[in-house]
A and B are shown apart, each in its own frame.
Chain A
Amino acid sequence: MRTRSAGRSLGAGSWCMADVALFEFLHTEMVAELWAHDPDPGPGGQKTSLSVLEGVGFRVGQALGERLPREMLTFKEELDVLKFLCKDLWVAVFQKQMDSLRTNHQGTYVLQDNSFPLLVRMASGLQYVEEAPKFLAFPCGLLRGALSTLGIKSLVTASVASLPACEFWEALPVSRVKWGPQSICLLLRGEAAPGCRSPFHRRGIQDQRT
């Protein structure tokens, strides 16, 4: 399946509007269908059960990134890109801005959404906290894919302490010489919050060694 780019902007008014419920239901079905379903379990048979969902999110993020307005592609600083993700991308996808953005100025960013729409309907509290990571794989991939289109390789993992608040961890290259698509250095800074069982963390570290 190839995608065509038609040069229209993200969330532009000329677009047909679809109801958000449709995306939410589709996402729920995707989680049910695709999680724990990895045709390529990797070395040692280690199960990266959410990598398929993450991969689907990545492709969607990439395509969304391709459809960004031109001026978006000339960010000067990393922080601008992150602000863009927190504002424009998040609004286009989830109709709200990210609640907070923190960074250690060394390539690690923490994006926090205090009422993440895909979790809001599930619970308020700890009731379904074990299930929550399944619903974060796709958005993690989405962010990673959008960054990839903007020329940034990243590792995005998510953790949930208490529904429906969640955080997206972004690791961006620290030792990059110049701003450009060549950047490849990948490092995860910051510790995942307690209760993080995301498999991406592990996988990303492995990738880096090879």
Chain B
Amino acid sequence: DDLSHKTQSSELFTLTYGALVTQLCKDYENDEDVNKQLDKMGYNIGVRLIEDFLARSNVGRCHDFRETADVIAKVAFKMYLGITPSITNWSPAGDEFSLILENNPLVDFVELPDNHSSLIYSNLLCGVQMAVEAKFVQDTLKGDGVTEIRMRFIRRIEDNLPAGEE
């Protein structure tokens, strides 16, 4: 029953995430610290999520970063957020690519106030990736046409986890 799992309307997740960001913005004085927290929380979620993901999908070890990209975009995003980002902009060395999100479910209800211009609202998503650097280079919230997450392969983790997946 690989992909059959309980789902719920993503608005609960989206609203909860929004309330969390609001709270963090109250708690921390600058957006950098909020970004750091979101990144950390995303990482912690990612560590658990990968277990969940591997247990439920039949995805084996990825042999290269291209395969990893496919798994992330077509299986993982689909499974957890119900969307399939497109993969573009491969670097010649094949160690960087971009995920393009036409619409980012995390930002459905959000208007970013001007005074939080350095806040990377969806930073939590970045933490979900492991052993890679993931950062937002375009964001619809900031007026870009699409949301783009740039993924850069850093190194292979030799122990316990398959490299690069999620």
Residues of A whose CB lies within 8 Å of any CB of B are: 1-4, 6, 10-12, 15-23, 25-30, 32-34, 37, 39, 52, 55-57, 59-60, 63-64, 67, 92-93, 95
Contact = CB atoms under 8 A, between A and B. Distances in A.
Nearest to B17: A26
Nearest to A11: B9
Looking at chain B's contact residues, is the secondary structure mostly helix, strand, loop, or mixed? helix
Contacts of B6: 19-20, 95
A92 B16 CA distance: 14
A39 B83 contact: no
Nearest to A94: B8
A67 B16 CA distance: 14
Interface in B1-48: 5-23, 25-27, 37, 41, 44-45, 48
Interface residues of B, number: 42
A121 B45 CA distance: 16
A11 B8 contact: yes
Contacts of A93: 8, 12
A63 B15 contact: yes
Interface stretch (B60-68, B88-96, B105-113, B153-161): B105-113
A13 to B, nearest CB: 9
Given A4-B111, A18-B82, A56-B19, 10 more contacts: A10-B11, A11-B9, A18-B8, A21-B49, A23-B13, A26-B20, A26-B45, A39-B27, A56-B20, A92-B9
Nearest to A91: B8
B110 A23 contact: no
A60 B9 contact: no
A16 B82 contact: yes
A18 B109 contact: no
B49 A12 contact: no
Contacts of A6: 108-109
A59 B22 contact: yes
Contacts of A23: 8, 12-13, 16
Most B C-beta atoms less than 10 A away, residue of A11, A19, A29, A92: A19
A25 B16 CA distance: 12
